Structure 1
Amino acid sequence: MRYAFWLTPQDSGRTRHEFYGMAVAPGIAAGLHCSYEDAADLAWAQRIWRSLDRAVNTLQPVPGAPRPGRSAPEPRLPAMAPSRPFAVVLALVLAGPAAAGCHHEDTATARASAAALVAQVPLTGPGFPPDAATAKARLAALKVEWGRNWQTYRREEFGRYWSDETDAVGGRNGCDTRDDVLRRDLTELREGDRNRCVVLSGVLLDPYTGKRLPYTYRRASQIQTDHVVALGAAWRAGAYTWTPQRRLEYANDLDVLLAVDKQTNQDKGSRTADKWRPPRRAYWCEYARRYTGIKAKYALSVTAPEKRALQEMLAGCPQ
């Protein structure tokens, strides 16, 4: 199931609420596109589609569905009839919205609409990472204190798996967070024809080491997704006070994430800037800019040694 919601400014000055959903199951590929100026109507469409999502997962699981935390395979439509319960649910759900400002799209149109949504959601926040001067100013404004509540940290506090259901950078575009990171960070990129979210192949020029790392879909690779300010470090710096949704947003914010060398990421762990720096010295400046930008964006504190380390790396940035 894929569904997403977004806002489109109108020439009249009003805001049009757009809703797009796509269902893929054995024998079925259905798309639904709605356009409203009334937010209440949009909320109704959202409830309808989420009901379909629950029905699909309950009555007719998609064969080959990924394990939690893994990227979804490209949708394939086997030559078989859908189960009767699923067909009934789909017919009921699509019939209602069709009479109220929505239209049902065929498979090709639905895929084109999904691809357009993927393309229009930016994978980098505005002004991120900050330039060196901005990063220095933001670093100076951060609260300095020792980390707290380190003993209560659990990875699950930030969500068990990747989630597209957040308002963070890259959220609600219908793609797995890791796929978004790969699409942004890899070169020589080849995306799926049927599912533009899926990266079939590419090459990572690892920022931490300078290594050239190939990537091929469904094959083991030496690429991992790193939280530049690790989840454990964020927890100690203030995330322990956040709501679960805020922590989920942080864990899936593309500004917080980088595709990097697997072994180097494991060596880094949850260590802060005073205890770990990228092996590739040429990346220190950008690393400190990203790190500081994340701390400022989420109002996280820094320790005194951490602040000094960031100041040293920022001092090496080109003037």
Structure 2
Amino acid sequence: MAGVVAAVMLAGCGPIDAESAGGGGDTASGDKGGASTGVNPLDNPKGTERGLAVIKSDKDRAAAVKLIEKVPTKGRGAKTGYDRDEFGYAWADNAEDIPFAHNGCDTRNDVLARDGEDLKYRSGSKCVLVEMTLHDPYTGRTIEWRKQDAAEVQIDHVMPLSYDWQMGASRWSKAKRVQIANDPLNLMPVDGRTNSSKGDSGPASWLPPSKGIRCSYAVRFAQVALKYDLPVTSPDKDAMLAQCA
């Protein structure tokens, strides 16, 4: 089945603007036990529920493997022509057929509100968050976030947009690219430094530092790939399977 990845970079996700700050989940623990920060991704196929919980049971791990096995593989295409603007302006509220769209709040604040605890909004605003607590699933850290230190928390595209481009999104309509860029299934508020080091890496070259959450991360990566009919590379699929085996 899966080949175990020889080396894994223990860093974070692709850089987003400094205002991509985020909210939290339920509980958090260190690297030994993994972070439990919300809902099992197998029980959250739309990404509308909070965070990313550890997958613990043998039954769920078997279900995770079965899901990941459905993801097709191919080599990465060229990055030629990729630009963030090809996926619409950041955090657009006008994507079609995804949760939270057209609710009057931008995608970033929607996702922060989804995952945040103890939310405080800007005076007179129902959207703009200025304070919250985040239980980061990738590191197990609990972060007391304030908007003046916005970059401390960023929004991760679990399946990075550049990766999407190279795996087939370059041939999509603009509307479909706007969808994947703003779909809560593909978005996770996390520690900013960790996020910034991920770039457009797939799971063969980057996994969350907290080992306990890696199977859940692999499941979420697979859920996005399957929803948008995107393949992953063979090494990435092997790495994903290895986390849940």
Q: Answer yes or no: same fold by TM over 0.5.
A: yes
Q: TM-score, normalised by structure 1?
A: 0.56
Q: Is the CA contact 1:225–1:259 (under 8 Å) kept in the aligned structure 2?
A: yes
Question: Residue in 2 aligned with 1:216?
Answer: 146
Which residue of structure 2 aligns with residue 230 of structure 1? 160
Shift of 1:314: 1.7
Larger Rg: 1
Q: Percent identity?
A: 35
Query: Does structure 2 conserve the Cα–Cα contact (< 8 Å) formed by 1:206 and 1:260?
Result: yes
What residue in structure 1 maps to residue 127 of structure 2? 197
Are residue 309 (structure 1) and residue 233 (structure 2) matched? no
Counterpart of 1:274 in structure 2: which amino acid?
A: A
Per the TM alignment, residue 193 of structure 1 is displaced from its structure 2 partner at its CA by: 5.9
Residue of structure 2 equivalent to 1:277:
207
Provide the rounded CA distance (Å) in 1 between the counterparts of 2:63 and 2:165: 24
Instruction: Tell me if the contact between 2:121 and 2:127 (Cα under 8 Å) persists in the aligned partners.
Output: yes
Q: Give distance in 2, aligned partners of 1:170 and 1:135.
A: 26
Structure 1 unmatched ranges of 5 or more = 1-67, 72-121
Distance, in Å, in 1 between the alignment partners of 2:18 and 2:131 is 19
Mapped to 1, the partners of 2:138 and 2:218 lie a distance apart of 12
Q: Which has the higher helix share?
A: 1
Distance change >3 Å, CA 302–CA 123, structure 1 → 2: closer
Match of 2:12 in 1: none
Q: 8 Å contact 1:69–1:162 — kept in the other structure?
A: no
Deviations 1:172-191 (CA, angstroms, capped at 9, x unpaired): 11101110111011222223
Equivalent in 131, 136, 159 of residue 88 of structure 2: 159
1:134 CA displacement = 4.3
Deviations for 1:234-264, whole angstroms, at most 9, x for unmatched residues?
A: 1111111110010011101111000011111
How many angstroms does 1:217 deviate by? 3.3
Give the equivalent residue in structure 1 for 2:48. Answer: 124
Greater RCO, 1 or 2 (C-alpha within 8 Å, sep 6+): 2
Going by fraction, where is strand more abundant, 1 or 2? 1
Count of residue pairs the alignment pairs up: 196
> 2:136 maps to which residue?
206
Partner deviation per Cα, 1:77-104 (whole Å, 9 max, x = no partner): xxxxxxxxxxxxxxxxxxxxxxxxxxxx
2:203–2:239 Cα contact (<8 Å) kept:
yes
Structure 1 runs, 4 residues or longer, greater than 4 Å off: 68-71, 128-134
Once residues 220 and 166 of structure 1 are traced to their aligned partners in structure 2, the CA distance between those partners, rounded to angstroms, is 24
Q: In the alignment, which residue of structure 2 is the partner of 1:34?
A: none
